Amino acid sequence: MGEILLVIDEGTTSARAMLFTPAGDCIASESAELTQHYPAAGLVEHDAAEIWERTQRCAAAVVERAGGPDAIAAIGITNQRETVVFWDRTTGEPLAPAIVWQDRRSADLCRTMKERGDEPGVQARTGLLLDPYFSGTKIAWAMANWPQLKEAGERLAIGTVESWLVWKLTGGNHVTDATNASRTLLMGLGSGGWSDGLLDLFDCPRGALPEIVDCAGRFGETTLFGGRIPICGMAGDQQAATIGQACLTPGDTKATFGTGAFMLTNAGERQPTSRHRLLSTVLCQLGGRRTYAIEGSVFVAGSVVKWLRDSLGLIANAGETEALARSVDDNGGVYFVPALSGLGAPWWEPGARGSISGLSLASGKAHVVRAALEAMAHQSHDLKTAFAADGCDWSRLRIDGGMVTNDWIAQDLADMLDVTVERPDFTETTALGAAMLAGLGCGLFATLEEASAMRGRVKIFEPAMTAQARTARLSGWQRAVTGVIR
């Protein structure tokens, strides 16, 4: 067996395969863009067959670059969470489109359930809220609206994206790790198993669901790349990034700025409860023991830059945004609330719509772009306030994701949050966390603490903004964000 770790990182906009050495060096990477389907306002779908085809192609390419399957010690998988796939156990083919985590089609169902008084009980059992974001509400909608799912009977398989990939890689193993299971609204957060009451509530057949397993271990093997390679690590993307940032001690906090933005604080082995509309979730499960996290989720982060490029044509590429932000002294009174898929924590307003306010004849493209970037720190400050109210304030923040390769954003976060910000030199910590788990699962590492040496060097950003300037900006943001809430 070799020592190279193969990571499959199946995100919202792309499928990637990456090779890591045990020292944390990424020695090869291959990616393929995923098609985004928007059949109607608020609806977001993927083609699960395309996800598999592009994942397989990328993985095959890097296995060849490694010198063949014998060089690979194990596979780690990390994935866009909450996206749900429906497929036929007999044919192994999708029965319907995959419903993406950003999709809002179950908003009416959530509203009805809240009015019925279901949310407190659901939150107590799952640590989550009733929102279209989570897999369970998507499953309930699909079971009610796609007759082919009920017609499939015992042939129906349901899973999040890592389940789909393991099924295809192994030829039929149906498993999910505890981090992804904890995002479905179907798993009891304390018990770690599927809840009969929740399955009934969301009309989800137990027989269609996968077995819940640890995040590191042996979950089957694939022979699709010319030899036998074990699958030894799995975690949802945000939990994987938290592990990749070495947030292994209670209180450690990371923020990932990718398509969305997600802040997680390690809460230890005691199940946490949020009283300020944050989420309680599984950070990692090893040997059947769960470590928990408190999480805040922002639905639109990097996707707002894509929207500025593709829908408004204000920029030609994401790299232009830093120079534009620096080209003006401030936002000129312009505020951008990027509620393009509703508002996440701590607002949880699926009906909210985005806004650009404060425009004048003096406003230019640079002000709008800067306001869009500033929204990352504004939303993060809302979350920090909620975390502090739950007794989990941040003294230091570890950041990663494609957006924060932009030094301007990293410094703005330090300024607006008034905390030290750490950014690792290698910012793809989601993939790195999956590599750590795979290395642990196949025996390359004895503990996650040992594996965390893969994180490498970090760059430090210290706050440099006056309290007066910070207060003024936050005051403008509060006016803007409360204006979009119905």
- The CATH number of whichever domain residue 153 belongs to comes to 3.30.420.40
Q: Give the whole-angstrom CA distance, residue 92 versus residue 5.
A: 27
Q: What's the pLDDT at 374?
A: 95
Angle at 253 between CA 13 and CA 368, to 5 degrees: 50
Helix axes 407-417, 467-482, angle to 10 degrees: 100
403 located within any domain: no
203 located within any domain: yes
Q: Residue 266: phi, psi to the nearest 5?
A: -60, 125
Q: Residue 16: phi, psi to the nearest 5?
A: -135, 155
Q: What's the pLDDT at 184?
A: 95
Domain span at 86: 4-237
262 located within any domain: no
pLDDT along the chain (486 residues), means of 10: 92 93 93 92 93 96 93 96 95 96 91 93 92 93 95 95 97 96 95 94 94 96 94 95 92 88 90 85 95 89 88 88 91 91 78 89 92 93 90 88 88 95 90 96 94 90 94 93 78
The domain tally of the chain equals 1
92 located within any domain: yes
Q: What's the pLDDT at 486?
A: 61
Q: Give the whole-angstrom CA distance, residue 5 versus residue 444.
A: 10
481 located within any domain: no
Q: Give the whole-angstrom CA distance, residue 418 versus residue 394.
A: 10
Strands of 4-10's sheet in order across: 26-33, 14-20, 4-10, 72-79, 229-236, 221-222
466 located within any domain: no
In this prediction the pTM is: 0.86
105 located within any domain: yes
132 located within any domain: yes
Q: Name, in order, each residue with C-beta under 8 angstroms of 182's C-beta and a sequence gap of 6 or more.
A: 126, 127, 189, 281, 282
